[in-house]
Each structure stands twice: as structure tokens, then as C-alpha cells.
Structure 1
Amino acid sequence: MQQNNGLDKNQLIIFALFSMIIMGAMFYFQNKQATEQQLKEAKNKTEVKQTAPATATKPAMVTNLNDSVKTTSIQQVELKNKELTLGISTLGGQLTTVELNQYKAYDKKNDVNDKKLLLFDKNNSSYGFQFKDKSGKTFNTKDLVFAPTQNGNSVTMQANVNGAVIQFIYTLLDKYTVDFNVKTQNLAQLVSDSKADFIWDLSARQMEKGRSQEQTHTEFNYAFNDYKSFDYDGRTTMEEPKETLNWLAIKQQFFAMVIEPQHGFKNTHGSQDTVDEGEFVKKFNFNGQVDLAAGELNQDFKWYFMPLDLPLLKSYDKNFDELLPLGWSFIGTLNRWFFIPMYNLISSWGLAAGWVIFLMTIIVKIILSPVMFKQHKLSAMMRVIRPEIDEVNAKYKNADPMKKQQETMAVYRKAGVNQMAGCLPGLIQVPIFYALFRFFPNMIDLRGKSFWFAKDLTAYDDVIKLPFSVPLLGDHLSIFAIACTVVILIYTVMTAGNIQQPTQEGMPNMKVIMYIFPITFLFFLNTSASGLSWYYFVSNAINILIILVIKYWILDEKKIHAQIQQNKTKEPKPEGKFQKRMREMMEKAQEQQKVQQQSGKKK
């Protein structure tokens, strides 16, 4: 079992390797199963044309399952309120159409969200209960034709199977909820088992502009342990043989379809498969067992077809808020209690979503300003003592590397410069970056909100369309991503002067790596939410302004140089614990190196 304790281990990465992992992930999703693409397309087309799921097993128990089975007798009953429009078919007595009335899906032809948002439609979903008869053969309610009786926003579907009666009672409620009550009579005369299988097949339809991003967020989610525990699975298979699931969800980027059994699903397993092209993004199959009481199935279920809106999800009090992937542990807390409330507060002023993000960036920068000021002051001091560092490098050019490093650290220590202080701002910004990486593509309030040339801040902007597809980039160039890359590159050029060049042969040139890093951001941001690119464009533009202000109006480099020269005449400050450990480690390494050299000479 993939236990989720709030820690997403697949995404525990250090900042230095972040861009490489993103590039690898993007390459993987764009090229996965390339050799099987044509076969999958043909298979998908065949499945869309089917009027009944291929997985449904035709019962061999009797030749006359339902006396009323006729093609012309199949009809659809509609239930509707302000939130949902449901279509219930008499074939299988199942929901075949589910529309969210207050939302629209992405239309590729018009490049806007103006299509009906249909979670179920055109046989993309099929579900039913499968029973085993006394001869060992199976039959499924998917294959039965039910007779409907409608009363307001409630409909009773009834089927007769060799003297047994099966009723599905659907009642449309508020808050995107559908009561689904199952009742049977005389079923014990037909079945021999104490359980039934609930089988659900679904092809998740593409709803959003960013296909790869939506695929990443389309997965199994489920709760167990009396709603207290939550887990998810975005892989190919799902196996939970020991847990009793309180609910099972197929979640997409902004919407979820949830089935909740009264007594839970047992011995559950499922599979999911990515669809590379076409109107669907993933295919799912789920099988969970429900108990029969004395051979009868009398149990209440609930369907939820809901947007992933955090206040709405919390209102159910069933751990549904975990469906919103805001990040693990501190990352999720940062989104729930800082970024989301801040966005809601600023947006309540009536500003456009892009300007809300702009103000959010300003607020974050103000909060981090003390730390950022120390970082930029340290950068200025590093520039001032650069001649002394270069002098040490020249003096110990042919000396032992460890000796050179010790002398370099001594210069920093005498000047009162703590190199490690520059790491703090970077460490602080790692969780902020990751929190925003989760925030922008999952904030439903941003969905469909346009800003300048971006038509949807939760998806990429593609004003610049390419006549061909470029590996890792796709068939477009995002203006926000390009702008963000440019300002990051400018910021890198302004700060790269403080980077010490490698003094040992074979060591990587850190300046080159720093210049490459912004370019990798273009590949990452080009298919990401444009809101994220806009945020980091503003953030890095502010960084550039801060550097200029500090350099020309706040810090006097001559005074800093004088202060450093004065520090040299004083007794150096005692070594900190970290500095002491670093020195001891270098001395130990130097001693080991000498021993190895001496032993080599003796041989």
C-alpha cells in the first residue's frame, strides 16, 4: 500500500537538481510509449464507437435475463438542478451523462472554455454490480434494462431477473451530490456468493488546455480508516487488498468523480493507462467488493461530481480536501494558510487575477526583505574582497588545494564575511517555489481567468505558435515563460560576478552552470501555468531593482572596503561550529592525502 503521511517522496528534490528532474519528467511524458502510439489510437477509436463497455460480461446463467430487453425500449431520464444535469439510462440503470452546469470545458478550436463540461457522456463511463450465480457464472447489472419511475428529482430504476428484483434509486441533491440507493429482493435465490463486485470503467475526458499538466493531475484518490487516512495513485495499478475504502475518486485537474459506499469497498484493485492523443487523457478500471446480507444487496451509495474548491471540499467533512494537491507537509500548509487566503483577500478587492498575483509577489518580497537585504549586502562585500581572494589564488596556485581553500576561508573570516549566510535566502525560497508550483495549476479560482495574452492563468499561453513540435518545448512558445527566462538571466549576469571560479582541475565552472539554469527554466515554464511564469517574472524583476537600489543608493562599497580593512586589523572572530567542522574536515582530508602520497612513493 502506498501510504501517504503528507510526504510526497517522488517530489523530495533539492533545488540544484530541480531543473534536470523537470526536464527528464517532461521528456518522459512527451515520449512515453512512442512505439505503441498508433496501436493505442486505433484502440481508443474502437472503444469510443462501442455502445456498451467491452468489459461487461454477458450473463450465461439464463437466456432470458430481462423480459423487457429491447433496443427500442432503452431511454434516458433527466434530473437537473442549478449545479448538475444528469442523464440516467435504462440500459444498466446507470448515470451516462453528468454535466456541471456552472463550469465550461476547454475548446481547442476556439482556444477558450466554452464547451459543456461533461464528466460522463458518450459511453465514456460504465459501472455496475457483478454477481456470481449458483452455477458459478456471472451476470452484471450493466447488461440489464431497467424500467424508470420518476418523481421530481428522484427516479427509481427497476429490473427483474428470473424472479429477483433489483432497484437503483437516484436522488439529485445539492452540493454536487447524488444519492444512489441499491435494493434487491429474492436475489438470494440466484446468487451463491456473499459479495458482489462493483466495476467501474472510465475514460477521463480532457477538460483543460494543458494536456500533459492535466494528465499529471488525473489519478486515483481514496480514503480509508474511517475517513482519517488518504492516499492516491498516479501509477499504472492500484492495489488495496487489506483496507476498506470509505470512498474512491477519479480526480482530474479541477474536478473529481467520487463514489462513496455505505459500508465501504473491500479487496479493491484498479488500473490506469495514459492516452497519448485524442479527447481522453487517461483510462481507468476499478473493482471493489461490497458485502451481501443474506444474499441481498441493500446498501446506500453516494456519487459526488464536484469542482475542487477548497471551502466546498472541507464542507463535506469526509477528507475530500485532500483531493486538492496543494503539496505535502509544510508546502501544503503554506498554500492552505498563506497563499490561498492571501489570494482570496486581494481578489475580493475586484482586481483582475493577474494584478492579484502581482500584489501577492510584492507582499512576499516585503516579508522576505530583511533576509534578501542581508543576501545582497553579502554579495556587495564579496565583490569588495574579490581582489584579496584573487591574490590568494595566485599565491597558492601550485600549492595543495586544501591549503588554498584554508587560506581563502581565512580571508573571509578576517573580513567578517560569512559565506553560509548567502545560502539562507535560497533555502527559504525553495518551499515557496514548490508551494507556488502546486498553487497555480490547482487554484480553481484562477481557471479560465485571462491576463494580457494569457487566456487562462492555470495553463500556458501560446500566442507564438510553431509550425513544428520541438522536443521538451512543444509546438508553441510562451511569452510569459520567455519574459521570465530573460529576467532570470539578467539577474544571473548581475550576481554571477560573485561566483568564485574553480581552482582545481576537473571542477565544474559554476558560472556556466548558473547561465544554463535560466535556460532550463524556459523548457519547464513553457508548458506550465502562465500564472507561475508571471509571478516569477515579477519576482525576479523586483530582485533586479533591489540590487540596483542597494548598489547605488544604500550600500557604499568604499565604506564596506574600509570596514573590511579595519576588520583585518582586529582579532578574528572565533570560528563558528560549522566553520570549525569544515576546517577540521579539510585538515583531515589533507592528512589522508599526504599519507596516500607517502605510501605511493614507498611502493
Structure 2
Amino acid sequence: MQKNKLDKNQLIGFILIGIILIGFLIYSNNQQKEAITEAQNTEKKVVENEKSTVAVNTPEPIKPDPDSQAKVELIPFTNDNLDIKVSTLGAQLREVRLKKWTAYDKDNNSHKKPLYLVNKNNSDFNISFKDKNGKIINTRDLVFTPSVQGNEVIFSANLKDALIQFKYKLKGKYSLDFSVFTQGLSKITSVQNALLEWQQNALALEKGKSQETIYTEYRYSLNNYSQTDYDTNGFEEEKDKIDWISVKQQFFATILESQNGFYKSKGTQQSEKEDPDYLKNFVFSTIVPLQKGDIKQNYTWNFLPLDYDLLKSYKTESGDSKQFSYNIPYGWMKWLCIFYLWVYEFLAKFGIAAGWIIFLMTIVVKLVTSPIMYKQYIQGAKMRILKPEIEELNEKHKNSDPMKKQQATMDLYRKAGVNPLAGCLPALIQIPIFYSLFRFFPNNIALRGQSFLWADDLTAYDSIYEWTTHIPLLSSIYGNHISLFTILYCIVLLIYTRMSTSTMQQPTQEGMPDMRFMMYLMPVMFIFWLNSYASGLSWYYLVSNAINIILILLIKNFLINEEKIHAKMQQNKAKPAKKRSRWQQKMQEMMEQAQQQQKQIQEQKAKQQNKKK
């Protein structure tokens, strides 16, 4: 009788695979660090070259009319949700604080710091063009004079015979309208287009910087809100019109809209791993057309928490969605994430703590998927009952053609009424659920800052122990902390794997690895993958697998009678053979074709050997 234990060669193979995976993670991390360092060095050289060029080609900073008595100061704009300050130097943003939200304070391990999207000169907005002498004029270098007209503040700067104005006005809860208007610009320039540049160095706001960096990227809408796209490296849109461009972080976004659209746009982004206060540096540039020699453009800044209902409320004048909700990265199972959000918000109305809401949501999901699990266990029981007959069949055909043995095995399955792939379909059905939850928990702003048990934020990792020393191998693939929810989940997963694999059949062909070994390896791998992920997700997986264990015990001891299943299978075998299904016929044809090809190959080898003799 064939023994299907994991032999020495297979064990060595799995160990080598594990070493290769770990080595690849370390190599990828080092390569990324080298690429970032090289990009930073290149950027420094470019900046130095630009500075030297500017020193030669750019005139002295152009000052406004002396009679304006302009000075550098910060002009405040405030409502119930925003505190904004605009500098008269460049007429650009210098502070943007969301008053009803707080950032994570790593010194106190809590969300107590004021939350700024713009602060410490991390944002720069500039419009540049060349004068008739070919010298570059930047609005960021000009000192503007502010004047208040109703609820609007107008920033004005004089350039010889030309006037440049930036007009700002608060709009709604989280928006700041502004327009750029020039007069007489054709007297000092003959260009047809100016260049708009927006640079933003995204500030770290959350506990888990590595996870927050993953979710920090460009998002934008195209062609009158008919398309959406995102970028994690760099993009260039030469033909398409961009309606809005967003620097999206894990739970907040700075969105720049244009009434007329952005054309011939480029965006770059670069990680800021060396500075703990910053995530990524974004640089966006686009062409601003001059109309009859002047600039007339209307824009809106939106400083938004990524609350789904809030984002859906932003619409165009015609009532169409502006697609701001695309800034929440729910992925291809968006509708399922929205359903989870609805369930979460419904339960939250009863004043239930966030951690217990996740617990209740887990029970709901398991009740929905329990029939799938039941079918999987039934299929496993059938395979286990057939195991002695399959082993007998393998012994009978141990010297036969492998294809004949496989065909005999398929005939046995068909006569007994067993579909060996029936257990795969329920598992495939659960993939969308797994994926959508993987997306939902780290991006649900309602969970942000919510504590549960020892976790201080369910959207970030939980830690029972942290260290500051950088350990090259461990820090690269694990991190500098220990997540207790992740460890508990992996222990429970290991127990569940042990119980579920008891119904799995060992491989029937010689040389085929025992997949149960891979299933036991998964809990170990999850310790590394989930250690820095949202603790709410680990808590969900922990509860989910604990419920799985309970369901297996219920199904095994109260819902399944293996003697009845065996009797039913014997009855199926005694009945006349059913007509093969289309799938079975197709599989039979494929097996016969493979058998015929193998026979032809063997005949060709035999002929070649005879020729050599």
C-alpha cells in the first residue's frame, strides 16, 4: 500500500520555498530603500541645478507696488469644521486644521493632537510663467495685499503694469473656493500657457505609519467625472481632462478641483521613510491656458474626512456625483463593503462599543456562510468514507498507467455520487467576503481611534510590547512590536486547521505533496502579514475562526451521521451509472487526449533508443 507521508525531499522543498519567500521580502525591502535613496539624491541634484539656473535666468524677486505697503501675514478663515490660514506671501495655504478630528500622538499613545492637513510649510501652490525677457515669474515669491469684500478675501499683487489676484471664500463644511484672476498680463508676457504646480508632503496622522503609507496615494476623476483612477508611483495624463486631483491618506484627503479641468497633467510621489512626521511627497503639475493674455481660473480646495456618506453628498450643479467616494479604497467588492458599513452604522446606533460591533458582525457573517461550511464538511466526510476504497484502487493500479488510475478514481467518484471539486466552490464563494473585510476594517473611519480591550485603535495594530532597536531581519518582515490579536488569531487558526484537515484525504499519486503541510504553514505566515495591520481585522478573524471551531463540533457531533452517508453512497454505486455531465465528459476527453499524447511520446522515445542501438 502506498504511503503518502511527507518525505524528506518534500520537506526540504517546503523549507527552501519558505527561505526564498523570506529572502524575497528582505531583498524587495532593501531594493526599495536603495531606489528611494537614489531618487532622493537625484532630486537633490535636480533642485541644485534648478537653483543655479534660476540664479542666472530669473530676475530679482518682483515686489508689489511700494504704495500698497504689503507685508507678510496670515489671514484666517474659519467655520465649525475648518481653521485655515492663508499667507500673503504667495497667497497660498499655510495651515489647514480639521477642528472636529485629532491626530495620533505617539508620545501619549492616543488621538489627542490637533489634526493638520497643511502645516509646517508642507504644502506649496505656485503658478509660473515667463516674461518677455524669458525670465520666470513665480506667484509663490510675490507678497500680496489682502482686502475683505463681504465673505471673500482678495489677495492682490502688482507686477509693473499687470495685476494678479487670488480670491478665497469658505464654502460649505470642508471647502474653500478660490479663483486666480489677472489683468494686463499680456503687457509683461507673450506666452500662451502658464504652469500650475501643487506640492504636498503628506503629514503622518495615524498610529501605524507603514499601513498609512500604503493607503496614501493619488486619486483623481477624469472626463467630467465619468472615470476614476489612482496612482501609487507616478502618472501622466496628456489627453484626458482631470476634474479633481486628490492627495489621499488613510482617512483624510486634500482634493483640488478645477471648474475648467486640468490638462496635460503630471504627478509624482515619493515615500518619506526617513522622516517620521511625513508619509509621501507629492508633486502635481498642469498647464493653465491664458485667455486673451490673462488667467481666469476657478478652483476649490476640499479638506475631507473619508466618511462615505459625506463624500457621496458632493455633487455637480447638474446633480451628478463628483465621485469623491472613490477616495475610499474599497476595491472591486465595494458593494459588500458598503453593506458592512450599513450594518456597522445600524449597530452603532444602539451605543454598542466598536469591538463588540465587530463581534456581532462576525456572527452575522458566519450565519450567512454556515451553509457553505456545512457543504464543505459533508464533502470532506464523503471523501474520508471513500478513502479505503481509493487506497485499494491505488494498490490495484500501482503498476498501471497513471492516467488509467486517475480515470478509475474518477469513475469511483461518479458511481458514489461524489464530486471532488464540490468542496472548492464554497471556498471560492468566501473569497469576496475575505477580500472585502480586508479592505473594510482599515478604511472605516468610524473605527478610527476606537479602543477595545488592549487595542487603542482598531484601525491600527495592537501592541503588547514594542522595541526601538532595529533588528535587520526581524524588523523588515515583522516590525518592532508584538500584536496580541494576531498571535491569538494564528493560534486559533492552527486549532481550526488541525480539525478541518482531519477530513482531508492524503494525495493519491506518488510525488504529490501533502497540502495539509501548507495549511499548517499559513498560520505562521499570517503572524508576519497581519502584525502591522488593523487590529479590528485580526479581532474579526480571531472570532470568526473560534466560531468555525464551534460549528465543526456541532456539525460533526449533531448534524452528520457518517453511517447514513456511507449507506447512501453504497446505494448510489448499486444504481445504474448515470450519464456523464458535460464537465465529466470534457474531463474524460482531456484525460484520453493526455493519455494518447503520453503514449506517442513513449513510442517516439522507444524509436530513438532503437536507432541509437
TM-score by length of 1: 0.89
RMSD (Å) for aligned C-alpha atoms: 3.0
d(CA) in 2 for partners of 1:455, 1:544: 28
Q: Aligned equivalents of 1:525 and 1:359: distance in 2?
A: 22
Say if 2:267 is the partner of 1:270: yes
Could you say what secondary structure the match of 1:158 adopts? strand
Partner of 1:220: 218
Residues 56, 140 of structure 1: 8 Å contact kept? no
| Deviations 1:188-233, CA, capped at 9 Å, x for gaps | 2112112211111111111112222211211111112112111111
Equivalent residue in structure 2 for 1:326, among 322, 325, 330: 330
Go from structure 1 to structure 2 and tell me whether the alpha carbon gap of 1:30 and 1:463 turns closer, same or farther (over 3 Å shift): farther
Aligned to 2:298: 300
The amino acid that maps onto 1:34 is K
> Structure 2 CA distance, aligned partners of 1:554 and 1:152?
74
Partner of 2:408: 407
Shift of 1:42: 9.5
- Structure 2: distance between partners of 1:214 and 1:57: 36
Counterpart in the other structure of 2:11 = none
- Contact kept in structure 2, 1:23 and 1:523, CA below 8 Å: no
Shift of 1:583: 2.3
**Could you tell me which residue of structure 2 aligns to residue 247 of structure 1?**
244
**Greater Cα shift, 191-200 or 151-160:** 151-160
Q: How far apart are the structure 1 equivalents of 2:188 and 2:37?
A: 44
Q: Structure 1's 77 and 46: CA in aligned 2 closer, same or farther, altered over 3 A? A: farther
Cα gap change, 1:57 to 1:538, in 2 (>3 Å): farther
Q: Residue 198 of structure 2 corresponds to which residue in structure 1?
A: 200
Structure 1 residues 534 and 91: CA distance shift in structure 2, 3 A: same
Provide the residue aligned with 1:136 in structure 2. Answer: 134
Aligned to 2:578: 573
Q: What SS is found at the alignment partner of 2:442? A: coil
Contact 1:68 1:145 (8 Å CA) reproduced:
no
User: Is contact 1:308–1:324 with CA below 8 Å preserved after alignment?
Assistant: yes
Change in Cα spacing, 1:326 to 1:189, as seen in structure 2 (3 Å) is same
Write the distance in 2 (CA, Å) between the matches of 1:176 and 1:25: 44
**Counterpart among 334, 337, 343 of residue 335 in structure 1:** 337
Query: Alignment identity in percent?
Result: 47
User: Residues 62, 514 of structure 1: CA spacing in aligned structure 2 closer, same or farther, 3 A cutoff?
Assistant: closer
Q: Is the 8 A contact 1:61 1:133 kept in 2?
A: no
Rounded Cα–Cα distance in structure 2 between residues aligned with 1:503 and 1:513 = 17
Task: Report the Cα offset of residue 516 of structure 1.
Answer: 1.2
Larger displacement relative to structure 2 (306-315 or 182-191): 182-191
What is the aligned partner in structure 1 of residue 597 from structure 2?
592
Distance in structure 2 (CA, Å) of the matches to 1:380 and 1:240: 56
How far off is 1:66 after superposition?
A: 2.8
Paired residues of 2:383 and 2:505 also in contact (CA < 8 A):
no
Are residues 1:563 and 2:561 paired? Answer: no
Aligned to 1:6: none
Letter in 1 for 2:516: K
Cross-structure match for 2:531 = 526
Displacement of 1:299:
2.1
1:191 aligned residue: 189
Q: Which amino acid counterpart does residue 105 of structure 1 have in structure 2?
A: A
1:297-446 correspondence to structure 2 within 5 Å: 297-317=295-315, 318-328=322-332, 331-336=333-338, 338-446=339-447
C-alpha deviation, 1:352, in angstroms: 0.9
Q: 1:303 to 1:502 in 2, by over 3 A?
A: same
The 1:380/1:504 distance shift into structure 2, 3 A limit, reads closer
Tell me if structure 2 keeps the 8 A contact 1:65–1:162. no
TM-score by length of 2: 0.88
CA–CA separation in structure 2 for the residues paired with 1:105 and 1:26: 31
Query: In structure 1, the residue corresponding to 2:303 is in which secondary structure?
Result: strand
Give me the whole-angstrom Cα distance separating, in 1, the residues matched to 2:358 and 2:96: 33
In structure 2, the CA distance between the partners of 1:25 and 1:168, relative to structure 1 (3 Å rule), is farther
Q: Which amino acid is 2:334 matched to?
A: G
Q: Deviations over 1:455-482 (max 9, x none)?
A: 1111111113256541311111211111
1:477-527 per-position Cα deviation (integer Å, ceiling 9, x unaligned): 211111221222212111223333334444332121121122222221111
How do residues 110-121 of structure 1 correspond to structure 2 at under 5 angstroms?
110-121=108-119
Q: Read off the aligned partner of 1:562 and give its amino acid letter.
A: A
TM-aligned CA distance change 1:577 to 1:519, over 3 Å: farther
Give 1:497's aligned amino acid.
S
Residue pair 1:56, 1:142 contacting (<8 A) in 2 also: no
**Contact between 2:62 and 2:141, CA under 8 Å: does it hold in 1?**
no
The residue number in structure 2 matching 1:601 is 606
Question: Residues 44-63 of structure 1 correspond to what in structure 2 (within 5 A)?
Answer: 60-61=58-59
CA contact (8 A) 2:64 2:70 kept: no
Task: Confirm or deny: 8 A CA contact 2:94 2:119 kept in the other structure.
Answer: yes
Instruction: Name the CA distance, whole Å, in 2 between partners of 1:420 and 1:254.
Output: 41
Q: CA 1:393/1:459 → structure 2, altered by over 3 Å: closer, same or farther? A: same
- Name the amino acid aligned to 1:375: Q
Contact 1:79 1:153 (C-alpha < 8 Å) held by counterparts:
no
Q: Which residue of 2 is the match for residue 124 of structure 1? A: 122
Tell me: CA distance 1:408–1:364, structure 2 relative to 1, closer, same or farther (3 Å).
same
Deviation of 1:151 after TM superposition, in Å, equals: 5.6
CA contact (8 A) 2:212 2:250 kept: yes
Q: C-alpha displacement at 1:27, in angstroms?
A: 5.2
2: CA distance, partners of 1:142 / 1:404: 78
Which shows bigger deviation, 435-444 or 291-300? 291-300
> Quick check: 1:33 aligned with 2:38?
no
Aligned-residue offset at 1:37:
6.8
Partner letter of residue 409 of structure 2? T
1:553–1:63 distance in 2 versus 1, CA, 3 Å: closer
- Indicate the larger mover: 511-520 or 146-155: 146-155
Report how far residue 546 of structure 1 moved. 1.0
Could you tell me which runs of 5 or more consecutive residues in structure 2 were left unpaired when the two chains were aligned.
1-17, 316-321, 609-613
C-alpha distance in 2 between matches for 1:225 and 1:393: 63
